[in-house]
Structure 1
Amino acid sequence: MGGRGAEICCASIPRVWYPGMMVLVRWDMPDGLKHIVKEKMVEVEKYDETGSIYIHFFPNDEVRVVVSIYPGYSTAHPIRHYGKPENINP
Structure 2
Amino acid sequence: MRAACVLNWLWGVLFLSLAGCSLGESEYLGGNLNGVNHTSAAINYFKVNGYGGPNISPHGYGGGMCCVMLPREWRPGLMMKVEWETDPDPYAKSPPLGTDEFRKFMVKHKANYEHHTAIVPLPPYEQGLCALEVHFLPCHQVKVTTACWGYGSPKNPIKEPLEMKEPAECPK
The TM tier, using the shorter chain, reads: 0.7 to 0.9
Q: How many residues align?
A: 83
Q: 2:148 aligns with which of 46, 66, 69?
A: 69
**Is the 2:82–2:119 contact (alpha carbons within 8 Å) kept by the matching residues of 1?**
yes
SS of alignment partner, residue 116 of structure 2: strand
Within 5 Å, give how 1:1-90 maps onto structure 2: 1=38, 3-7=59-63, 8-32=65-89, 33-34=109-110, 35-49=113-127, 50-82=129-161
Segments of structure 2 that go 5 or more residues without pairing to the other structure are: 1-37, 40-58, 90-108, 163-172
SS of alignment partner, residue 139 of structure 2: helix
**Is the 1:72–1:81 contact (alpha carbons within 8 Å) kept by the matching residues of 2?**
no
**Is the 2:118–2:141 contact (alpha carbons within 8 Å) kept by the matching residues of 1?**
no
13-22 vs 1-10, which moves further: 1-10
Instruction: Show CA shifts across 1:1-52 (max 9, x none).
Output: 3721122442111222111111111111103412111111111112234221
Shift of 1:65: 1.1
Distance 1:30 1:9 in 2: 24
Distance 2:140 2:121 in 1: 14
Give TM-score scaled by structure 1 length.
Answer: 0.76
Percent of residue pairs bearing the same amino acid type? 25
Which amino acid is the alignment partner of residue 67 of structure 1? T
Segments of structure 1 that go 5 or more residues without pairing to the other structure are: 84-90
Distance 1:18 1:61 in 2: 26
Q: Which has the higher helix share?
A: 2
